[in-house]
Amino acid sequence: MMVTGSALHPGPAPRPADDELRLAAVDRYQILDTPPEGTFDKVAALAARIFRTPAAAITTADGYHLGTVNVLDTHPRQVTAEHLQNLAALVMGQLAMRLSAVRTVTAERQMRTAAERLARTLLPPAPPQVPGLRAAVAYHAASADEVGGDFSDLFPLDDGRWAFFLGDVCGRGAEAAALTSLTRCTLRAAALYDPDPCAVLANLDTVLKDEYQGTDPRRCTAVFGILEPAEDGSFTLAGGGHPSASAVRADGTIQPLPVTGGQLIGLLPEPRFTQTSTHLAPGDALLLYTDGLTEARTPSGPMLQEEGLAAHLAAGTRDDADDPVAGIRRLLDHLGTGVNDDTALLALSVPIHPPAPAQETR
């Protein structure tokens, strides 16, 4: 037993000079006020067997003493320092493994939280009100843990027209998120500079090549479109390596819009982009989607593909004339786990019955 102070002035034992650092190490290892752990119980049992004592206990490697390994007996005995050092090393090894596991779990939680926050910033906002049209967007995330690279946007230009785009960058995770952010900003800026759809995609191609020059190429697919004033109902689309857009007609006809001839953006020395135009009448809709939809597995096994999507759209045309995305949402729910990739949707439709103008109040 250690006795400190004096007979006349007893006092507490002095604190070691490094006690604050020791306590900080104890806190870092997260070993105070924790429930019993089986690993340390086994170490205590091993200590009792080695020293042939009735009981042993652990009361808790930066060079600080974090706690003690106690072996308890009913009579005095001699023990070797080597045995005690081996037990201490065993306990510290377990503490180090435990700390590593805690840090790993904490880091995964932080990464998951960061990914969720980043995903929310990349998701399409509620679409703006386009005169004479109804706009709808949807995003289906295949994984809650990883950020995908699907994106869409809809915004007005200075001359009364509207621009919109939808696309998919290659990859997942933080790199895909950074590329998605760059792609969206570039498409918006390029549309303000020169809104010709093919020129916009060409500008994006140049930016991606300049940004990632000397590294692995970063590529994406996209459809970019210009909507003339809503009264006209005319659209001009350009595509770069992206699935076809679809014009969903009021009579149930599904018209693929051939923008699939365009090549991947950001990859080839001189890519070619294709352009097409269409007109929407009342009850018609324009639907853009990423390949997570058509590559989804149906309950019977094969992929949905464009033919299956067209059949689904044709069957639900009357019910979803004013909101074609509603039918796609039901389809995604029906496909369930067959959807193994993120899916972005953008639909622009001309209502059959336009909303009545607001009545003036007197």
Give me the phi and psi of 302, to 5 degrees please: -70, 165
Shared domain for 23 and 100, answered yes or no, is yes
pLDDT digits (tens, 9 = 90+) for 284-299: 889 999 998 888 888 8
Domain that holds residue 99: 19-115
Query: Residue 7 domain-assigned?
Result: no
Query: Residue 290 domain-assigned?
Result: yes
Shared domain for 138 and 88, answered yes or no, is no
Query: Residue 231 domain-assigned?
Result: yes
Query: Residue 360 domain-assigned?
Result: no
Query: Residue 356 domain-assigned?
Result: no
**What is the chain's mean pLDDT, rounded?**
75
Query: Residue 4 domain-assigned?
Result: no
Rounded Cα distance, 119 and 111, in Å: 12
Higher pLDDT: 68 or 57? It is 68
Shared domain for 25 and 159, answered yes or no, is no
**pLDDT value at residue 178:** 80
**pLDDT value at residue 249:** 87
Q: Exposure pattern of 136-150 as b/e (b: 16+ CB <10 Å)?
A: bbbbbbbeeebbbbb
Q: Any idea what DSSP says for residue 208?
A: H
Among the candidates 115, 143, 164, a domain finishes at 115
Higher pLDDT: 26 or 257? It is 257
Among the candidates 84, 115, 146, a domain finishes at 115
Domain holding 345: CATH number? 3.60.40.10
Shared domain for 276 and 142, answered yes or no, is yes
Neighbouring C-beta atoms of residue 306, cutoff 10 Å: 18
Strand order in the sheet with 220-227: 150-156, 162-169, 220-227, 234-240, 274-279
Query: How many domains is the chain partitioned into structurally?
Result: 2
Q: Which residues pair with 343 in a beta bridge?
A: 140
pTM above 0.75, yes or no: no
Shared domain for 133 and 111, answered yes or no, is no
**pLDDT value at residue 258:** 73
Among the candidates 68, 87, 115, a domain finishes at 115
pLDDT digits (tens, 9 = 90+) for 196-235: 999 999 999 999 998 887 677 788 999 999 998 766 789 9
Rounded Cα distance, 167 and 238, in Å: 12
Shared domain for 199 and 218, answered yes or no, is yes
Give yes or no for residue 245 having a pLDDT over 80: yes
Give yes or no for residue 166 having a pLDDT over 80: yes
